[in-house]
């Protein structure tokens, strides 16, 4: 996770896509190109399309994009709006929405050694930002986000024994 702050924006980024996910995405998208080639070749030679190539290309394309994407959150406080971006390589997709009233940021445990940071806009609704394998890293990142967004920080890494963290 990286946190970029300047006068107008706060950008919370998941960071670059890990190498193994890029390799998986490359293999899946190469398979997609092969399926499309086979589908076009079969259509030109036989006059019909094999459903296996059609569904296979759809599957490979969707999972290839899923493996290649990362998410960013951009907060523009002067214009009171935010954007959840999906990034595929250097392409970024997303649209601006009005900035809701942010209640607090929370770091919580979802599974053994998996901690999620979430920004809440109501008691039960919010945006999952990023995950960590270490509770201490998640707490430090949640504190940094809470400090930049000027909201409170809730520590729920120990289920049932949550507490509010002091922002330094």
Q: What is the tens place of the pLDDT at every residue in 10-68?
A: 777 777 788 999 999 999 999 999 999 999 999 898 888 888 888 999 999 999 999 98
- Rounded to two decimals, the pTM is 0.67
Q: Is residue 63 part of a domain?
A: yes
> Based on the structure, what is the number of domains in the chain?
2
Q: Please write the tens of the pLDDT for every residue from 123-168.
A: 788 888 878 888 888 888 888 888 888 889 999 888 788 889 888 7
Phi-psi category of residue 89: left, alpha or beta, with phi > 0 → left and psi -120 to 50 → alpha: left
- Predicted local confidence at residue 75, as pLDDT: 82
The answer to whether residue 88 is domain-embedded is no
Are both 58 and 104 inside the same structural domain?
Answer: no
pLDDT at position 111, please?
86
> Which positions ≥6 away from 129 have C-beta within 8 Å?
1, 12, 73, 116, 117, 118, 119, 145
Q: In which band, very low, low, confident or very high, does the pLDDT at 70 lie, cut at 50, 70 and 90?
A: confident
Looking at the fold, whether 159 and 105 belong to one and the same domain comes out as yes
- SS3 per-residue string spanning 60-108: HHHHHHHHHEEEEEEEECCCCEEEEEEEECCEEECCEEECCCCCEEEEE
Q: Which residues contact 143 (CB under 8 A, 6 or more apart)?
A: 153, 165, 167, 168
Q: What is the mean pLDDT of residues 87-103?
A: 87
Task: Classify residue 11: in a domain, yes or no.
Answer: no
Q: Is residue 157 part of a domain?
A: yes
| Nearest by Cα to 152 from 162, 161, 14, 130 | 162
Q: Is residue 103 over pLDDT 70?
A: yes
Q: What is the pLDDT of residue 5?
A: 59
Can you give the residue range of the structural domain that contains 143? 100-168
pLDDT reported for residue 2: 60
- Provide the β-strand partners of residue 121: none
Looking at the domain assignment, is residue 42 inside a domain? Answer: yes
How far, in Å, CA of 63 to CA of 73, rounded? 22
Q: Summarize pLDDT for 113-128 with one digit per residue, the tens.
A: 888 888 888 878 888 8
Q: Are residues 113 and 50 in the same domain?
A: no
């Amino acid at each position: 996770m990286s946190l970029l702050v300047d006068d107008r924006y706060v950008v919370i980024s998941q960071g670059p896509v890990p190498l193994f996910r890029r390799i998986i995405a490359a293999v899946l998208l190469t398979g997609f190109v092969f399926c499309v080639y086979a589908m076009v070749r079969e259509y030109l030679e036989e006059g019909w399309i094999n459903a296996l190539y059609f569904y296979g290309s759809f599957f490979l394309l969707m999972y290839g994009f899923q493996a290649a994407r990362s998410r960013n959150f951009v907060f523009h406080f002067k214009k009171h709006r935010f954007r959840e971006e999906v990034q595929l390589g250097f392409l970024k997709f997303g649209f601006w929405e009005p900035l809701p009233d942010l209640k607090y940021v929370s770091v919580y445990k979802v599974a053994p050694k998996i901690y999620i940071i979430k920004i809440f806009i109501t008691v039960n609704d919010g945006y999952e930002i990023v995950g960590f394998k270490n509770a201490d890293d998640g707490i430090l990142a949640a504190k940094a986000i809470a400090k930049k967004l000027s909201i409170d920080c809730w520590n729920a890494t120990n289920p049932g024994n949550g507490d509010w963290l002091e922002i330094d």
